[in-house]
Structure formats: C-alpha cells, structure tokens
Amino acid sequence: MSQANSQDETRFPWEIGVFDAHCHPTDTMASIADIPSMKATTLTVMSTRADDQDLVFQAASNVAKDSGNGTIGRILPCFGWHPWFSHQIIDDTAAKSGREEEPSSAADIKKSHYSKVLKPPPGDEFISTLPEPKPLSELLSETRSRLLKFPTGLVGEIGLDRAFRLPQAWTQEEIETRDGRMTPGSREGRQLSPHQVRPDHQKAVLEAQLRLAGELQRPVSVHSVQAHGAVFDVFKGLWSGHERKVPSRRERKRRNSHAEAHADSDAEEQSLRDSNARKPNGEQEHLPFPPRICMHSYSGPVEALKQFLHLSNPSEVYFSFSSVINFGHQSDRSVAVIKALPDDRVLVESDLHIAGQEMDDRLEDVTRQICEIRGWALRQGVQQLADNWRRFVFGE
C-alpha cells in the first residue's frame, strides 16, 4: 500500500458530511460564534427547559441567516422539555375529577402542584426555591409555534429518567462563583436533593410532546435513563391500532420463491415503512406518534432492541451514541448494542454543552470507535452515518 493511500484511509473525511445527532451548545452561548468554523456539517441542537427554548430558536435563525439557507444549515433546532424539568409543568390537559378542590391563589397552586408531582413531597422552603409552574397546554402551543417556523425542526429533548434527583437550591457561595457563561436553569454542579419527579407525571409530559410530534410529523430525540421499558410502553400505547401488517413467512413464500423472499426482504421492509402514515387517498394522516425516533446516547440492553426494531412498529427507531456516555463505564454493553444494530439505524452525537473544536473532536472520536466496532472502513462508515442522519431527519 502506498503512503498516500495509507494516509487517505486514516485521514478523517469531514467532506463527506458529519452530523451531530444530539448536542446542547446553547448552554454556553458564547460558543455559538464558533459553529461557522466547525468541521461538522450540521448540529442537531436540543432545548430542554424554559431558559433555552428561545436561545435555540435564535441561534438557528441567526446561523441560517448567515449561511443563506432558510431551512437547514449548521444548526437544526429541536424544541422540547427534558424530563429533568418536567416538574415545572402543570398538566392542565388531563380531565379533572369533580371532587377535586382547586387551589385559589398562585401560591396554593404552586404548593399543590409540586406536592403532587415530586416524591417525597417537598417542604415549603424547598418549594419556595422552585419556579412558578407552567401549563402544559401553553408549552405545547409555544413548541408548535416554534416548530412551524422551522419546517425541518425536531421535538427534543424529551423522555423519562428514573435516576434523576432535583438539585438543591443555590447557596450564596455558589451564586457568587458560578460560571457566568453558562445558560441558567441547569444543575451546574449543585448538590442533589432527595426529590424526584413522579414517573406518571414524566409520562404525561412525554406523551403530550410525542403526540405533538405526531401531529406535525416531526422526528423526536428521546432521553431514557433506567426507563427503557417504560419509554417503550409509552411508544406502544401511542402505536396501538396503527401497527404495520407484517406478512408471515408463509405469506411471503406464497408470493415468492424462497430465494426471492430473501432477496426482497429489504425492499419489503422499505414498503412497510413507506406505507406508514398514509390514508387510502395517499394524503398524510395526523397520527398520535412521531414518524422517527432517536434513542439518544442509548444505554439500554441489547435484548431490548428487538422490541424497538420490530417491523410492526409504525415509527422508525434509531440509536445514537456519544463517547461521553457510551464509552465509559457502560462500554461493554454499548459495544454489544452497536454490533447488533442494523447498519441504517446508527447515529453519532457529541451530547456536548459547548460548540467548537471539542465538539468536532468528540464527533470524530465516536465515529472512529463505531467504525471499528462495526468493521466499517472509515469513509464507508462516515458515509453510512451521514445517510442515516439524513433519513432520520428527512425520512428520505
């Protein structure tokens, strides 16, 4: 092998297109200015809470304006509420019992809400440090409005988390020493309280956002920690009655010879995908679930892949991986999952909270690791991952 060929095989081929499937650069707004000089092609930028929804919107608007591309450029915006902040939302969309006595004042509403959705129920002092809760209906209306301004925008980051505990209130010392470059609203290293968001409340907020994604036919990015079974159950409930018909082996043999059945399996799966969300007259149907789902920094077991990838599922499920989450203490599990996935369902992400050189480095690192695990040549793998991201985002 010539030295030139050897160098070409080891040089990272940014020119093919490298797409970060999940990141949070608006957590460090000063870094947004570094995005135009990055090697990555497009960053799929998540919002998570009240403090960053407009920041993601503004960053996407400004970068799109700079690039001269009004639909998609260096930033693909995503709008949604993370389960870590779901306690800040009042579910005003649920039917109320006539026996329930409604709180009369804003203070009573706040106390009643946080007492219901947090476990163990917090005391008055802790509640006083929490923000005024926001109605779910208002959140959905704002998210819909933002998504309509970005026809390719996603819903995210949303999901379930059974491990998370709310941080303690800021101490005066922490306030004085905090990094002023960071967008407010996140933990920022504070000590954790014993309080968690009740799973049923997290599920209500997740399901409402999945239904909105279905209404607008937008892909979603899903967070799941110690909750993969529960997340799948939410998907399954929304999919109920809309499952794709999967021909039995006997039916396939009736139509084709044994050899043809194997040769046409990919085409058959594609046909099943394309039939999703179509009315008999060919128009797009409003469905209660998103067309495509990304399980971000997937940390679940390999055994769960079978249910997520079943051909009857009317949503396509993808799995993204980051070096920070998947190649630390969970490395062996992640390797097994990456090896077991179909080629076309793998995505890469940085999950980083600052744009620039470090984000590029993270993307290159995780891409090289996945190519090695799957036995892909580097250029082949980068092209496959780019194609996968485009299909996840655009469905084409």
Which distant-in-sequence residues (6+ apart) come within 8 Å of 222 by Cβ?
156, 157, 158, 159, 231, 293, 294, 295, 296
Specify if 372 maps to a domain: yes
Q: How far apart are CA 133 and CA 88, in angstroms?
A: 5
* Angstrom distance (rounded) from CA 28 to CA 355: 8
- Spatial neighbors of 306 by CB under 8 A, at least 6 apart, are none
Q: Are 88 and 133 in contact (CB under 8 A)?
A: yes
Nearest Cα to Cα of residue 142 among 155, 131, 159: 155
In a domain, residue 258? The reply is no
Assigned domain for 334 exists: yes
The predicted model gives 215-222 an average pLDDT of 98
How many domains does the structure of the chain reveal?
1
Instruction: Give pLDDT, residue 69.
Output: 42
**% of the chain surpassing 90 pLDDT:** 76
For residue 262, pLDDT over 60 is answered with no
Whether the pLDDT of residue 310 is over 70: the answer is: yes
Domain range enclosing 390: 10-95+103-243+284-394
Q: What are the backbone angles phi and psi of residue 62, rounded to the nearest 5°?
A: -70, -45
Whichever domain contains 196, its CATH number is: 3.20.20.140
Q: Tell me if 311 is assigned to some domain.
A: yes
pLDDT tens-digit readout, 275-295: 544 454 445 568 999 999 999
4: in domain: no
For 137-150, the pLDDT digits (tens) are 999 999 999 999 99
Decide: helix, strand or coil at residue 247: coil
pLDDT at 259 over 60: no
DSSP-derived 3-state class of residue 168: coil
Query: pLDDT tens digits, residue range 16-29?
Result: 999 999 999 999 99
- Percent of the chain whose predicted confidence (pLDDT) is above 70: 84
Q: Evaluate the CA torsion angle 332, 333, 337, 340 in order and state its sign.
A: positive
Query: Inter-axis angle of helices 136-149 and 53-67, to 10 degrees?
Result: 0
Q: Is residue 156 part of a domain?
A: yes
pTM here? 0.90
Residues 242 and 232: their CA atoms lie apart, in Å, by 15
pLDDT at 4: 42
- Would 113 be classed as within a structural domain? yes
Q: Would you say residue 353 has pLDDT above 80? A: yes
pLDDT level of residue 252 (50, 70, 90 thresholds): low
Please answer whether residues 158 and 83 qualify as being in contact, where contact means their C-beta atoms are separated by less than 8 angstroms: yes
Cβ-based neighbours of 283, under 8 Å, separated by 6 or more: none
In a domain, 309, yes or no: yes
Whether the per-residue pLDDT at 133 is higher than 80: the answer is yes
CB 298 within 8 A of CB 327: no
